[in-house]
Structure 1
Amino acid sequence: MKEQPNNPLHGIKLADILEYLVAAYGWEQLGKLINIKCFTTDPSIKSSLKFLRRTPWARDKVENLYVKSLSK
């Protein structure tokens, strides 16, 4: 397995990213930052992971917010 020193997401699971963001922002703020239904209507980790795994554009937004929040 090759190292990816320039990839801040290497080795981090989507579930871990989502749990971090929920802990840092909460569902309400997360829904305001990324306006997707799985964050605004009856949110849960399970339903959000299911949606994000099937929807590349939404996953990109979540990953970008995670990277930005780490640099703060």
Structure 2
Amino acid sequence: DRQTPWYVKLILSVGLLYILVPIDIFADTIPLFGWLDDLAIASFIIAVALRLVPKEVMARVKRKVFGVK
């Protein structure tokens, strides 16, 4: 969305890319530790989205996703 600042889009994109790319700080083959970095990044992405994405944009997306008019 054009109302969302570029730096917010960049932070969210890099975070999602980190989760999707198979190279991690801790290997996923190590039980528990392999998932902790993904969980931390996912939590960070959610926090950034909730705080930095403009409220109007979030409201519009919620209406679109949940079908509320």
TM more than 0.5: no
Considering only CA atoms, is the larger Rg found in Structure 1 or Structure 2?
2
The one of the two structures with greater contact order (alpha-carbon pairs below 8 A, sep at least 6) is 2
